[in-house]
Structure 1
Amino acid sequence: MRGLHADTGYLLYRLGLQSGRLFNNSLEEYGLRLRHYALLRYLATVEGALQRELSTRLGYDPSAIVSLVDDLQGLGLVERRPSPGDRRSRIVVLTDRGRDVLRDTDKAGRRVTDELLAPLDAADRDALHALLQRVADADQG
C-alpha cells in the first residue's frame, strides 16, 4: 500500500497549507491575508481592473472580491474609480500606499519561500518553479 507522501497531489496540498499558514502569518502585521496579497499583486500588473475581472483572474467568487476590495479600500491600499470605457462601472486601482505595502509584503513572501524551500538549492528551486508554472499555465488555458 502506498503512503500519503507517495501521492504528488497530497504533497502539493500539504505544502500549500504550510505555505498559506506561513504567508498569512507574515502578512498579519499589515492586516492582510494571502487573498488580499493576491489581489494587490494582480493590481500591480495592470492599470486597474473591473471587479468581475478580478474574480475571473484570481478564481475567487465575485462576492469574495467585493469583500476583499472593501477591506483593501478601508486600509487605503486600493480605490474604486469610474471606468473610462463605461461610466456605470468602477475599476479597482492600487494606491501609492498599496504599492508601498506590496513592496514590504513581497519581502515577507521571499522569506516564506526561502523557509519553505530551504532543503533545495538554487537550481532545484528554479526547476520546481518552472514545473509549477507549466502546470499553472496549463490550468489557465
Structure 2
Amino acid sequence: MENPADEPSARWKRLPSWLLTQTSQHAHRLVADGFSAAGARGYHFRLLATLEEFGPASQAALGRRSGIHVSDMVATINELAERELVERAPDPADRRRNVISLTTAGKRQLRRLEKQLADRQDELLAPLSRDERAQLTELLAKLLDHHNGRTGAPDESWR
C-alpha cells in the first residue's frame, strides 16, 4: 500500500504558479532538445526568424527586434556567420556599422527549426484539443503582456 505521506501536498500542487513553473521546465527541455537536434539554440531561431520577418538589419536593430541582449548578440551572429547562415556586410550609410542578412542556407535552417518547434509544441500540448491550445495560448499571452507591461521586462526565453 502506498504511503499517503509520499503524495505531493494538495495545498501547492494545483497552484497556478507551480503548474506554470513545472510546465515551463518541460517546455524548455522539449524546445531545447528539438533545436539541439537541428544543431541550433533558441537564439539562433529568434535571430533567423527576425531577419526573415524584417530583412537585413544592424546588430542593434536585431537585438531590439529579437529581444536578444547586446552581450549575447555578437556571439549569436558569430555562430551563425561561421555556419554561413547569415552574412555581415558594412552598412553603406555608416561604415562603422555592420548589416546582417539571412542567407539561403539560413532560410533552410530556419525551416528546419520551425519544423522542430512545431513538433515540440505538438508534444507539449498533446493532451489538449485545438480549441484548448488556442485558449491556453491566448491566456498565457494575456498574462505575459500584463506582467511585461508592468515590469518592462524583455522576453528572455529560448536562449
Give the AA of the match of 1:31.
Answer: G
Deviates more, 1:83-92 or 1:62-71: 83-92
Deviates more, 1:131-140 or 1:36-45: 131-140
Matches within 5 A, 1:1-141: 2-6=11-15, 8-137=16-145, 139=148
Higher radius of gyration, 1 or 2:
2
Specify whether residues 71 and 117 from structure 1 end up closer, same or farther in structure 2 by C-alpha distance, changes over 3 A only: same
Q: Distance in 2 between matches of 1:129 and 1:84?
A: 42
CA shift at 1:57, angstroms?
2.7
TM-score by length of 2: 0.76
The answer as to whether partners of 1:20 and 1:34 remain within 8 angstroms in 2 is no
Give the AA of the match of 1:23.
Answer: V
The answer as to whether partners of 2:12 and 2:18 remain within 8 angstroms in 1 is no
User: Looking at both structures, which has the greater relative contact order when contacts are Cα pairs under 8 Å and sequence separation is at least 6?
Assistant: 2
Unaligned 5+ residue runs, structure 1?
A: none
Specify whether residues 98 and 115 from structure 1 end up closer, same or farther in structure 2 by C-alpha distance, changes over 3 A only: same
Specify whether residues 12 and 38 from structure 1 end up closer, same or farther in structure 2 by C-alpha distance, changes over 3 A only: farther
Aligned residues: 140
RMSD (CA atoms)? 2.1
CA shift at 1:115, angstroms?
0.4
- Larger helix percent: 1
TM-score by length of 1: 0.85
Q: Distance in 2 between matches of 1:85 and 1:18?
A: 45
Q: Distance in 2 between matches of 1:137 and 1:85?
A: 36
